Structure 1
Amino acid sequence: MTIKGVLFDFSGTLFRIEPTESWLRAILTEAHISLPEPELLRTAERLEAVGAQAGGAPPAEPLPEDLAALWAVRDRSSEAHRAAFTGVSRQVPLPDPRLHDALYDRHMTPAAWQPYPDTAEVLGALRERGVAVGVVSNIGWDLRPVFREHGLDPYVDTYLLSYEHGVQKPDTRLFALACDALAVAPQDTLMVGDDRRADGGAADLGCTVHFVDHRPVTERPDGLRPVLDLLG
């Protein structure tokens, strides 16, 4: 088998969101609000525990009933995505209620994201080998500016974002759309992601699937390089 196309997940695969503490510090600084350091750290810990940061840790505790149903479909529209994450965030008291929306807005900025150390190297190598590349993400906002800001957009041939199609992984329809956009058969496509359930759905379409660990950028310097060994 020869791989002719590679699909990548976004968060935890090609990029990693900033730590929760710096996320909170950024919006407090922008709002000219100061918190005592122990309170700031406690607040960041609580935001992380409830899963308030899109792209960050999942909720570590049960969701309130009024949010559970919305959470399950949060990636199908931009409205649901914002409502789900700001709803979860509001479980944690902040000095100004408007900061919950500010946190959500912050996570959509290129400054909040950092590519893994080998992302550019691997995407560049795929381009040199003539392998088509797509990004398939469960997300509620347009991530293309993140790729442009970090100079990686030239390596991506297509983006399939769940909120733009009303379909979220592991639904095979999203992977099928990506394969069609690349003009590559699923049997000749490799899906690379960090979520065994969501990204693993590509296997049901006939794609080969390879998983990476969703770890901090400093702890995963070369997690993507094995992809190049799988090309055949």
Structure 2
Amino acid sequence: MPAVLFDFSGTLFRVESTESWLRAVLDAAGVVLDPPELAATARALEEAGALPGGAPPVRVPDELAGVWQSRDRSAELHRAAFTGMSRRVLLPDPALHEALYERHMTPAAWSPYPDAPEVLRTLHERGVKVGVVSNIGWDLRPVFREHGLDGYVDAYVLSYEHGVQKPDPRLFETACGRLGADPREVVMVGDDRRADGGAAALGCAVHFVDHLPVAQRPDALRAVLDLVGGPA
């Protein structure tokens, strides 16, 4: 029986926009910025790559290069990397940098792609084992639970829990082992050709989707149902 591994961010779920992320934190803190300043600050945060799961940084400063390269290997490195990027942008209160990081870990910050529930449910109904393999620095299981998708996932293999990040084949090997699946019968689905493509070293098939806003990618995951056989 085949199995499917999915990446999280940009594959099954998409994080909110940088402006929505910033606005939610400012509202919670009772801080008001006029619309032009809000928009400008959001653009600066986006250029800095401060939102995990959002746009990559335009430039990684030398003092953050090391932690950025290994950011997904531990919770501490992940927080240091992204709050370090955030602090490149002036905010009304320095405490907001930590608040922004906390916000991105909440289920409210994430939306599943429109076809994700259908695809996960169909795979589950067919008896196909499903794993989530993510480069991440925090526990994403509550996101799946909040959106009613946790029951369709058989294993989570998260980089920070193993000290290993994609494309290292060991992370995919761990996932295949958790599912009791032969890697040659596994499809890895992701949006990052380098990171997710690491599964090919084990003999897994790899299928890529585009990391687009939710409204722009309504049905890209449905191709997975054809890849593992059975009625779509």
> TM-score under structure 2 normalisation?
0.98
> Which letter maps to 1:220?
R
Distance 2:210 2:168 in 1: 22
1:44 paired residue number? 42
2:142 paired residue number? 145
Query: Which of 146, 160, 184 does residue 163 from structure 1 map onto?
Result: 160
1:27 paired residue number? 25
Query: Which of 202, 205, 212 does residue 202 from structure 2 map onto?
Result: 205
Distance 2:60 2:184 in 1: 38
Q: How does 1:47-86 map to 2 (within 5 A)?
A: 47-60=45-58, 62-86=59-83
Distance 1:37 1:48 in 2: 16
Distance 2:34 2:48 in 1: 21
* Equivalent position SS for 1:215: coil
Distance 1:101 1:185 in 2: 42
2:85 paired residue number? 88
Query: Which of 193, 206, 227 does residue 224 from structure 2 map onto?
Result: 227
Distance 1:186 1:63 in 2: 35
Deviation at 1:193, TM superposition (A): 0.1
> TM-score under structure 1 normalisation?
0.98
* Equivalent position SS for 1:224: helix
Deviation at 1:95, TM superposition (A): 0.1
> Which letter maps to 2:125?
E
Query: Which of 124, 128, 136 does residue 125 from structure 2 map onto?
Result: 128
Deviation at 1:64, TM superposition (A): 1.0
Deviation at 1:59, TM superposition (A): 0.7
Deviation at 1:63, TM superposition (A): 1.1
Deviation at 1:4, TM superposition (A): 1.1
* Equivalent position SS for 1:10: coil
Distance 2:43 2:61 in 1: 18
Does 2:107 align with 1:119?
Answer: no
| Unaligned ranges ≥5, structure 1 | none
Distance 1:129 1:27 in 2: 41
Q: How does 1:8-19 map to 2 (within 5 A)?
A: 8-19=6-17
Distance 1:227 1:214 in 2: 16
Distance 1:205 1:97 in 2: 45
Distance 1:118 1:194 in 2: 15
2:190 paired residue number? 193
> Which letter maps to 2:145?
R
Distance 2:167 2:117 in 1: 26
Deviation at 1:17, TM superposition (A): 0.1
Alignment coverage as a number of residue pairs: 229
> Which letter maps to 1:135?
V
